[in-house]
């Protein structure tokens, strides 16, 4: 089978792939631009796959996305052509959970303040330090990453609520609800962590109405996708004190423009979409691809197959 990839893999990794399939022809390309009827599978981060891309490869049967989100891939066309779409769900869980805990600690331990003081050579303890212990956190998106975050939060003595589409109970959480329980859970929470996929249903979900349901002084963390949050509504909540402080790893426009007011806010911790990054991420995502490569085309044995109706 011919796999076309815009991700360059090492010779050692390629050898591992070839050991899984004797018929493997793995071709690297900088961009999907040349038509090829022999291409059966595509390996991509997802941002470079468009409807016109798929027109170049009429016999593609499988796309392996090397990220958790697949919102940039034309799901309607993928569905119409009955193409298998898989992601690397789970490969981000460890590093994203650590990123969330780092963000939480940064907010409650006043990381912004002490960093500025160090830069300005100021020794002062005139600021309030909070703690995670005994706080209630609501994790909106109680999937595999959310579950891993929940386990870390409970180790800090936090009460953990989760929101998922199904509301199915999960032992990593103290309580899990569906989207119908969102406002109720937010009113109980001292911290909110957003780990949702970007779909038509979740775009702009955190709007003025949802922010108004928060407890005053809530800590807010977004490691999902920027468009899940109405940024104007978040700015208003930050300015009013409804949100005491926010840690934001994702934004509607990336890179975040210099004109964005978030840069100037003392109560906002900005990271450049690095929540999923780790020195070990590459190995984890290739493990997922390798498992699917060995199983293809048996859908029953492949993992992380995207439900194209739901978008995740």
Q: Hey, what are 195's tokens? A: 């780990």
225 given a catalytic annotation? yes
Q: Smallest Cα–Cα separation from 283: which of 138, 92, 148, 106?
A: 92
Cβ atoms within 10 Å of 120's Cβ, excluding its own: 8
Q: Distance between CA 39 and CA 43 in Å, rounded?
A: 11
Q: Distance between CA 266 and CA 177 in Å, rounded?
A: 33
273 given a catalytic annotation? yes
- Catalytic choice (15, 37, 131, 254): 254
254 given a catalytic annotation? yes
- Catalytic choice (273, 277, 284, 299): 273
22's CB contacts (< 8 A; 6+ apart) are none
* CB 45, CB 65: distance < 8 Å: yes
Alpha helices in 170-280 (DSSP H): 182-188, 208-212, 231-240
Phi and psi dihedrals of 248, rounded to 5? Answer: -120, 120
Starting at the edge strand found earlier in the chain, the sheet holding 136-140 runs: 175-177, 159-163, 136-140, 191-194, 218-222, 243-248, 268-270
Q: Do β-strands 84-86 and 136-140 pair in parallel, antiparallel, or remain unpaired? A: unpaired
- Catalytic choice (225, 231, 232, 284): 225
Residues annotated as part of the active site: 225, 254, 273
């Amino acid at each position: 089978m011919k796999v076309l990839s815009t991700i360059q893999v090492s010779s050692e990794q390629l050898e591992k792939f070839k050991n899984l399939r004797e018929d493997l022809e793995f071709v690297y390309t900088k961009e999907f631009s040349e038509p090829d009827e022999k291409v059966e599978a595509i390996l991509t981060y997802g941002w470079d796959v468009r409807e016109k891309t798929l027109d170049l490869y009429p016999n593609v049967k499988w796309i392996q996305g090397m990220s958790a989100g697949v919102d940039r891939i034309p799901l309607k066309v993928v569905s119409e052509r009955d193409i298998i779409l898989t992601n690397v769900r789970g490969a981000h869980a460890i590093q994203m959970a650590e990123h969330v805990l780092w963000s939480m600690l940064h907010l409650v331990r006043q990381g912004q303040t002490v960093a500025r003081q160090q830069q300005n050579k100021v020794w002062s303890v005139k600021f309030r330090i909070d703690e995670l212990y005994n706080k209630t956190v609501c994790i909106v998106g109680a999937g595999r990453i959310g579950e891993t975050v929940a386990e870390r939060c409970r180790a800090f003595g936090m009460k953990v609520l989760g929101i998922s589409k199904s509301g199915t109970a999960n032992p990593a959480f103290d309580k899990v609800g569906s989207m119908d329980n969102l406002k109720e859970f937010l009113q109980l929470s001292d911290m909110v962590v957003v780990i949702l996929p970007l779909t038509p249903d979740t775009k702009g979900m955190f709007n003025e109405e949802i922010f108004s349901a928060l407890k005053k002084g809530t800590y807010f963390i977004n490691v999902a996708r920027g468009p899940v949050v109405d940024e104007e509504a978040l700015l208003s909540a930050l300015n009013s004190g409804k949100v005491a402080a926010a840690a934001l790893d994702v934004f509607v426009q990336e890179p975040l423009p210099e004109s964005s007011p978030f840069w100037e806010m003392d109560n906002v911790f900005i990271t450049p979409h690095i929540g999923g990054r780790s020195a070990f991420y590459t190995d984890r995502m290739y493990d997922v691809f390798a498992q699917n490569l060995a199983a293809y085309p048996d859908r029953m044995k492949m993992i992380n197959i995207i439900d194209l109706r739901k978008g995740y």
